[in-house]
Structure 1
Amino acid sequence: MKQLFLLLSSFIALSVHAQDTIGIFPFNKDIGSPKMKGSATYDGVAQAYTLKGGGYDVWYNRDEFRYLWKKMTYDFIVTANFELTGKEGNAQSKVGWMVRKEGDPASAHISTALHGDGLTVLQWRPEAGANMLVPQDERFFSKRNVQVMQLERRGDVFIMRAAGYGEPLQIVGYHEMKNMAGEVLVGLFVCAHDSNAIAEARVSNVRICDPVPMNNNPNPNRAWRVGSRLETIDIFNGKRKIVYQSVGRLESPNWMPGGKKILFNADGLLFTVPVAGGSTAEVLNTGLAKRINGAHCISSDGKMLGIGNSDGRWPNILLLPLSGGTPETVVNEMPAYLHGLSPDNKAVVFTAPRKDMPGAVYDIYKKSVNGGQAVRLTDSKRYEFADGCEYSPDGKYIYYNASQRGGTMQIWRMRPDGSGKEQLTFGAYNNWFPHISPDGKWMAFISFPPETRPNVHPAYASVTIRLMPVSGGAARVIAYLYGGQGSLDENSWSPDSRHLSFVSYTTL
């Protein structure tokens, strides 16, 4: 099984494998024979696309533009950052996502479009050969600083979302297209809106996701399983890179000391992979611990590794050398979900259910690595929940997420003895798993949409990773992804406090 996992895992291809293939798109050509021929290139280091395209327009009853696409049959969510980068051209030049029924210039299609003047729109041709809809039937976005566009197909309905840098995605519009069922072409396009000109665009952070069915009931005619992308992101410019991919489920990345490798959980074991990318992950020796549950943390001195293992009656907590070896049990008297080690490496903090409080109540506990009684630090009531506990690098606080009765899940902090509890985030989003950067300046966490129940962190949802200063201030979005539990459960900051690693998911 482990050999199969390694064989099926692969680093994203950085080179061209077929004549027309560009990056992840097998097809690359002009649609509609524009007078000025287009082109496309892929930067494998930056994992970004440059598109150049002519064309009179994407409008009326036929289109002219440059198109990169792949074929997809089931529901999808596609997201990317867009920028028109060429010399100042037509205000109606456009770049975006496009879904077409076929490659014919008169094909039915629906597309998101970022224009040269900043206008952002969802537009469509309802059937082959028909005119595009008149302006009052389009879906316009009022903001003019859009950089991120997302298009989702959910059955017959297409949903467009957009955002400026650092902002949550907002719904621009949606439209039902029953004639776009089954296999369609999905990809990136650029159009000059001028037959005698070329428009140029840069598209980055391109992610095509085939989501889990809404009811989690796999199509009986489809081989359904979840694949994973191990990614890194520069928190200051939002640039993401896929460093490792697998048809299996990866969880809980952790940046290793020295900044050269990333540790992650898969199939009950721990693996490492180079940050620079690679085709093979190496198994970390964890002795008899073969059912590691995704909970793990690295000591501040880089010598020890804490893991959560589910090999007995319930999940327990073990310690072993980071280089690998035989684990020693730290917590086994109660179900325990590890989240952190104290900076002096003398205590673990974890989440556990309350025996004396029915109703799925969880609290945060601390215990010495040398034994003794676990000390409860929070006092949740019925239908309340505390989780995601982690020390700040200076040891002055334990950060965690908690929901109070009837409220959303929010980020809190307290002193290591449980005193001085202070709420740090507010609002409609449910925020989980706070992680403080090694320099103590930033807090990253994962945000679930408002419709998610506060005490639930599903593995498969449209979520964001947000960043806020530890000193206080507004949180901003740095990544939009399909993920959840397993994406950012453990502290995944790079040693230089500039990058994070996380996992996003897609069905395969």
Structure 2
Amino acid sequence: MKTLLILALATVTLHAQQTPEVPDWAQPGSPTHKQVPPPADFHRPSKIFNNRIGIFDGEADVGSALVPGSASYDPATKQYTIHSAGYNIWYSRDEFRFLWKRMSGDLSLAADVSFPNPNGYNDRKAVLIIRQNLDDDAPEAMAGQHGTGMVHLAARLTRGASLRDYEYRLSAVGLPSSSNGLTTLHPKRIGLEKRGDEIALYISVEGEPLHQFGPPIRLHFDGPFYVGIGFTSHLPATSDTAVLSNVNLVNSAGQVR
């Protein structure tokens, strides 16, 4: 009887570890729940891993999502596969897996984006991002591609401020299709360029050369800062996957390709 009781307690403990408690504010928007910002001054220290992965110096679970993230690189296919939970990259703090490189000065960054899981949350985001540091509330500029195919440029101008969505966005739209009348637009490649304090979004919709989409925003970063790729599932305790491939990162402007 004592052995059975110990096993039952161990099972309960394991189940509790596998299903972390999610605060109500972290739940994504739905027909029955309105998405809200995190509480004022809420933070989780980021978990930082200084192991090289592909061209990047290290990885981090920015904001320490309730489920740890992971990533891998396949040099044969030039693909970075990123697994991450995390309630969002938005508002006054972020939760996502980040592959980073410390840099200064101008830069050009681009990648192909895909989502292997067709049933992930629509607002999941694969991102190209520049961050002042690895804290969850750091100033940042982000080119994000959502699960729906929408691409946009956003920035947190100061530490702890809410992320601002600049309306230079390409939305997922219905296009003619021979099979069912409409098809969803998923851009082939996105890019981000830093030229001084100006940061611009680049996009390739159907495989054409990357071209600037909308005017640049202005945001100053003190070097060295952190540059790289990342992903959040937009689900606080459920991991999903993004694949970013053919990543091009150059320490100069005008090289987005």
Q: 1:164 aligns with which of 197, 205, 217?
A: 205
Work out whether residues 34 and 54 of structure 1, in 8 Å CA contact, stay in contact via their aligned partners in 2: yes
Identity %: 31
What SS does the aligned partner of 1:196 have? strand
The question of whether the paired residues in 1 share the 8 Å contact of 2:60 and 2:134 is answered with no
Which of 170, 174, 193 pairs up with 1:141?
A: 170
Deviation, structure 1 residue 19: 5.9
2:77 aligned partner: 46
**What residue is the counterpart of 1:102 in the other structure?**
133
2:247 corresponds to 1:206: yes
CA distance in 2, matches of 1:23, 1:93: 23
* Alpha-carbon spacing, 1:77–1:124, altered in 2? closer, same or farther (3 Å): same
What is the match of residue 36 of structure 1?
A: 67
Unaligned ranges ≥5, structure 2 = 1-48, 173-184
User: What's the TM-score, normalizing by structure 2?
Assistant: 0.72
- Paired with 2:118 and 2:225, the residues of 1 have a C-alpha distance of 33
Which of the residues 135, 141, 158 maps onto 1:127?
158
Structure 1 distance, partners of 2:235, 2:67, is: 9
The alignment of Structure 1 onto Structure 2 pairs a total of residues equal to: 196
Q: Name whichever structure is richer in helix by fraction.
A: 2
Give the equivalent residue in structure 2 for 1:251: none
Residue deviations 1:188-243 (CA, integer Å, cap 9, x gap):
0100111121120111111111237xxxxxxxxxxxxxxxxxxxxxxxxxxxxxxx
* TM-score, normalised via structure 1 length: 0.37
Task: Report the equivalent of 2:121.
Answer: 90
1:183 matches 2:224: yes
CA–CA distance in structure 2, aligned partners of residues 211 and 63 of structure 1: 27
Which runs of 5 or more structure 1 residues have no equivalent in the other structure? 1-17, 213-460, 463-479, 482-508
Q: Quick check: 1:150 aligned with 2:179?
A: no
| Change in CA separation of 1:19 and 1:159 when aligned onto 2, cut-off 3 Å | closer
- Runs of 4+ deviating beyond 6 Å: none
Letter in 2 for 1:203: L
Instruction: Give the conservation status (yes or no) of the 8 Å contact 1:122–1:139.
Output: yes
Describe the SS at the equivalent of 2:64. Answer: coil
Cα 1:45–1:63 shift into 2, 3 Å:
same
Give the match's secondary structure for 2:138.
coil
| CA distance in 1: counterparts of 2:239 and 2:229, whole angstroms | 16
Q: Which amino acid aligns with 1:34?
A: A
**Do the aligned residues in 2 keep the contact of 1:71 with 1:186 (CA within 8 Å)?**
yes
Q: Distance in 1 between matches of 2:79 and 2:132?
A: 26
Structure possessing the higher relative contact order (Cα contacts under 8 Å, 6 or more residues apart): 2
Q: Which residue of the partner structure matches residue 94 of structure 2?
A: 63
Aligned residue for 1:104, secondary structure, equals: coil
Q: 2:51 aligns with which of 16, 20, 38?
A: 20
